[in-house]
Amino acid sequence: MMIIPRIWLCLLPLVIHILVVAAILTNTDDVSTLNALKSSWGNLPPNWLGADPCGSNWEGIRCSNSRVVSITLSGIGLTGSEFGDLGSFTELQHLDLSNNIGLKGTLPSSIGNLKNLTTLILVSCSFFGQIPDSIGSLQQLVFISLTSNSFNGPIPHSIGNLSKLSWLDLSYNKLTGTIPVSNGPLPGLDKLINAKHFHLSQNQLSGTIPPKLFSPNMKLIHVILDHNQLSGEIPQTLGRVQTLEVVRLDSNTLNGSVPDNLNNLTSLNELYLSNNNLTGPLPDLSGMNALYYLDMSNNSFDASEIPPWFSNLLSLTTLHMVNTTLQGPIPVNVFSLPQLETVELSNNNLNGTLDIGSSYPKNLTVDLQNNSIVDFEQKTNYNMKMVLTGNPICKGNEAKENYCIVENNNNPFLSSDNCPNVNCGSGKIQSPNCKCSHPQTGTLHFFSYSFSNFENLTYYRTLNGSLMTAFLTSGLPVDSVSVTDPTIDVYSYLKFRVQIFPSGQDTFNRTGNSDVGFLLNRQPFQFDYFGPFFYKADDYCCFGGSKKSSHTGIIVGVAVGASVFVVLLVCVAVYAFRQRSRANRATEKSNPFASWDRDKSGSVPQLKGARWLSFEEIQKCTHNFSDANSIGSGGYGKVYRGLLATRELVAIKRAQQGSLQGALEFKTEIELLSRIHHKNVVNLVGFCYEQGEQMLVYEYIPNGTLRESLSGKSGIQLNWMRRLNIALDAARGLAYLHELADPPIIHRDVKSNNILLDDNLNAKVADFGISKLLGDAGKGHVSTQVKGTMGYLDPEYYMTQQLTDRSDVYSYGVVLLELITARPPIERGKYIVRVVSEAMDDQKDSSKLDRVVDQILRPHRDPDGLLKFINLAMSCVRESAAERPSMGEVVREIENIIQMAGKVLTSSSSFEEGNQDIRNSNSYESYGWL
């Protein structure tokens, strides 16, 4: 009997799949459910026509393998009260119906059928009734936000079953009852050990904050429970969650004293305890090195002087201790904290003569109303906003002094003054880039923020820039953003009005509008200075028509391509999984390195080539980590150059405190890296794991990064042929990681800064700091926080959190565009992908393309090759991952281009120069053949 080779068994479903996919388009169940929605909801997109939603690109619907996987219909004025049909989309991964105030009804328990749902966003609709228990069946759920509805009744215990949940936001509802924790067979929120966000503020929750809710193995960063009716003491257990960054417990009825161990929260940035009935001594927070914002106002602490440890909080920008029975004089060093912006100590019993010293920061605001201060040392010579109204000093003659007058703060109004004064007409508004269009408008509600000086434009610029970067990185059609009118509402939430202007057209179509809303409420990013937020959009005036899809003709091809890819990935994943399970299952967690027999030479038999180096050896070869030997740094720590005793020149990556991994993870990384051997991938020479240090030692690559060369910083000039060779090398390195490494690896941070050039200008791919084994996931990995670098991030990954090797292809495509234009991916608010694609679209005007191509490639003697190269780059950065080529295909295409270029160039007699070794030359200029 003939034995069928295993590979064919694996490919059989593939063949069947292709046949099936080619025969039908959208899954008929999904079509009928969408049609049912059409008949029960109002204002669905007008292009929901025909029998093939996936093939004819219904707005708001995204498909994969003919199944509806994503429904994002945010802020398009939907109305409806029947939601039972939603439960039929069994392949649905993302559901965002936020900002449709006309959606009024209860969430049906059939929502529990959405077994593949990862993201559920219903911000600011009009849902009411209980959150169904069945929500606990959504095992894949990573993100849920039901903010700003009228849900009532208790928080279901079943939410505790959502083991992948990272973001839980139920704020601004009418939820009652206690915070559910596990109890016998009942699960509870304490089981959510992967959760980073508990946002339960602005409800009517009562009872105590259960001590069981928190445990040291949790990953919580935001605990936001303000404005409820929680009572009892703050649990001790809160102080054991070392990852916390924001804690808001304000405006409850908490009592008792603040647990001492809160002081262990060394990552905490913002702490709000105000408006409770807390008693006992003022807590000692001197350990909170990262604290920016502290509000303890309106509590009943024991009367006390201002504690001396205030002056240890070197990061503090904002201190609110209104009405907290503070007494005695104010120590002068309170005012000299370097970052301080606001000190508000009104309604206390502070007395004596006020002395602010002379080393207070610029633009400080100090509010000391209603105390017992009798004099002010610097009253004729101070430079800050000082309010002493309601103190003895402001009685009588001095009442007219500036410091006795309460001024209204004027918030700056930011608008672009750069634009000519034109009348846009028909309700359009001028964008900061001086284009007239209809912006989407709305309000950003920040749960927390780390500053209080609203006149400091840095904060607006940061917010503006971060939003814009997020839009550009996700490939959304946004021209520019304007944030204005900061206000702090009665709940001490910071609100900004925001205008988001469309790009390329006067108006957003429904897809663009919804994608903007989805990105803002899903926020796969964290902004500097700003905590988490939600976004309420206003009604949009005037949706543009959806663009006719240019892809219709190739849909079948794409679907087949995608399914081939999925099946191959599954094959790879199964294989990788087998390999992994075969590997040392019984590794001891306590000392994973114990099994590595470390002999004198430091070689570890399980590792191919990589050696165990002693701390001493590394210390010596880097001259005790001297600055002179430092060659770079990143989030993880510093990189040093060193010469080992073996005369090998190496680059040593030394993890700093805070980026150290667990021993087991570190060991896994070393094992992984030591298996990678390819001439276009930087080689791991060894590692050091000693004295609390984790270091990775790589071969040293002398000519720096590709970015340095492209920016002209390194002095190496890259002509056309060199650029092609670098592109080929990097592609080969990545193709090796994707297709040949065992297990396959997704790099996740491909960028020109991670492509290094050796003596001969061969390129090598570096830095697998955040690499992900492909075997970890079947059809793509869903992660809670997108990893990578802004400007290179695959928009599909960014929006969906689905990681595949095509995300690397995208980032690689951005690198190709850098090779073509020599510009960084985001420059002065312009995104390279868009710049080149606009230049390509304008075929009438070929000078446009000429202008984006790097000067030294102009005039190109190989126009065909250049055009092919640009087309290749554009295919790598296609929006849909399934339409991008594999790295293997990229390698072959570049080989073709190089072969062609070789012919063109030999016939014009200067081919050799392109490949010539530059080591022998001091004068790079002489090499430009173009």
Ligand X SMILES: *[C@@H]1O[C@H](CO)[C@@H](O)[C@H](O)[C@H]1NC(C)=O
**Could you list the active site residues?**
749
Tell me: cis bond preceding 859? Omega within 30 of 0 counts: yes
From the list 648, 643, 758, the residue with the least C-alpha distance to 702 is: 758
Contact between 17 and 567 (Cβ < 8 Å)? yes
- Token pair listed for 153: 């009744």
Region near ligand X per CB under 6 A, out of 222-230, 259-267, 295-303, 869-877: 295-303
Does 363 participate in binding ligand X (rule CB under 6 A)? yes
Distances (CA, A) of 33 to 84, 105, 745: 10, 18, 38
Q: Binding marks (x or -) toward ligand X, 522..561, rule CB under 6 A?
A: ----------------------------------------
Does 255 participate in binding ligand X (rule CB under 6 A)? no
The footprint of ligand X on residues 313-332 (CB under 6 A) is 323
The minimum distance between CB 279 and ligand X, in angstroms, equals 9
The minimum distance between CB 467 and ligand X, in angstroms, equals 18
Does 231 participate in binding ligand X (rule CB under 6 A)? no
Q: What is the CB neighbour count within 10 angstroms for residue 376?
A: 22
The minimum distance between CB 450 and ligand X, in angstroms, equals 8
The minimum distance between CB 407 and ligand X, in angstroms, equals 18
Cβ-based nearer residue to ligand X, 362 or 585: 362
Q: How far apart are CA 617 and CA 624, in angstroms?
A: 10
The minimum distance between CB 363 and ligand X, in angstroms, equals 5
The minimum distance between CB 350 and ligand X, in angstroms, equals 15
From the list 313, 319, 267, the residue with the least C-alpha distance to 296 is: 319
The minimum distance between CB 364 and ligand X, in angstroms, equals 9
Cβ-based nearer residue to ligand X, 201 or 275: 275
Helix axes 720-735, 887-907, angle to 10 degrees: 160
Region near ligand X per CB under 6 A, out of 94-102, 293-301, 329-337, 716-724: 293-301
Cβ-based nearer residue to ligand X, 304 or 906: 304
Region near ligand X per CB under 6 A, out of 67-75, 292-300, 742-750, 878-886: 292-300
Residue at 201: amino acid letter: S
* Three-state secondary-structure class, residue 255: strand
Contacts 24+ apart (CB under 8 A), 48-57: 51/26, 52/25, 52/26, 53/26, 54/25, 54/26, 54/30, 54/555, 54/559, 55/25, 55/26, 55/552, 55/555, 56/549, 56/552, 57/546, 57/549, 57/551, 57/552
Region near ligand X per CB under 6 A, out of 130-138, 294-302, 517-525, 887-895: 294-302
Region near ligand X per CB under 6 A, out of 39-47, 131-139, 168-176, 297-305: 297-305
Region near ligand X per CB under 6 A, out of 17-25, 185-193, 298-306, 770-778: 298-306
Does 300 participate in binding ligand X (rule CB under 6 A)? yes
The minimum distance between CB 457 and ligand X, in angstroms, equals 8
Q: How far apart are CA 744 and CA 806, in angstroms?
A: 13
Cβ-based nearer residue to ligand X, 132 or 361: 361
Binding-site member from 56, 147, 171, 299 for ligand X (CB under 6 A): 299
Q: How far apart are CA 477 and CA 502, in angstroms?
A: 6
The minimum distance between CB 238 and ligand X, in angstroms, equals 21
- Token pair listed for 716: 């190496």
Binding-site member from 204, 349, 358, 458 for ligand X (CB under 6 A): 458
Cβ-based nearer residue to ligand X, 384 or 840: 384
Region near ligand X per CB under 6 A, out of 258-266, 296-304, 387-395, 463-471: 296-304
Number of residues in contact with ligand X, rule: CB under 6 A?
8
Residue at 108: amino acid letter: P
Does 880 participate in binding ligand X (rule CB under 6 A)? no
The minimum distance between CB 345 and ligand X, in angstroms, equals 13
Cβ-based nearer residue to ligand X, 182 or 300: 300
Tell me: cis bond preceding 216? Omega within 30 of 0 counts: no
Does 456 participate in binding ligand X (rule CB under 6 A)? yes
Q: Name 643's Cβ contacts closer than 8 Å, sequence gap at least 6.
A: 621, 649, 650
Does 490 participate in binding ligand X (rule CB under 6 A)? no
Cβ-based nearer residue to ligand X, 293 or 540: 293
Task: Write b or e for each residue in 51-66: b if 16 or more Cβ atoms lie within 10 A of its Cβ, otherwise e.
Answer: ebbbbbbbbbbbbbbb
Does 370 participate in binding ligand X (rule CB under 6 A)? no
Does 411 participate in binding ligand X (rule CB under 6 A)? no
Kind and range of the H or E element at 11?
helix 6-23
Q: How far apart are CA 332 and CA 328, in angstroms?
A: 12
Q: How far apart are CA 628 and CA 648, in angstroms?
A: 18
Half-sphere exposure of 117 (CA within 13 A, CB side): 27
Cβ-based nearer residue to ligand X, 163 or 363: 363
Half-sphere exposure of 713 (CA within 13 A, CB side): 11
Contact between 469 and 792 (Cβ < 8 Å)? no
Helix axes 555-582, 6-23, angle to 10 degrees: 150
The minimum distance between CB 517 and ligand X, in angstroms, equals 29
Cβ-based nearer residue to ligand X, 237 or 299: 299
Does 362 participate in binding ligand X (rule CB under 6 A)? yes
Cβ-based nearer residue to ligand X, 100 or 298: 298
Contact between 759 and 788 (Cβ < 8 Å)? no
Residue 492: left if φ>0, alpha if ψ -120 to 50, beta else—which one?
Answer: left
Largest alpha-carbon pair distance within the chain? Answer: 111
Cβ-based nearer residue to ligand X, 390 or 865: 390
Q: How far apart are CA 762 and CA 897, in angstroms?
A: 18
**What is the binding site for ligand X (CB under 6 A)?**
298-300, 323, 362-363, 456, 458
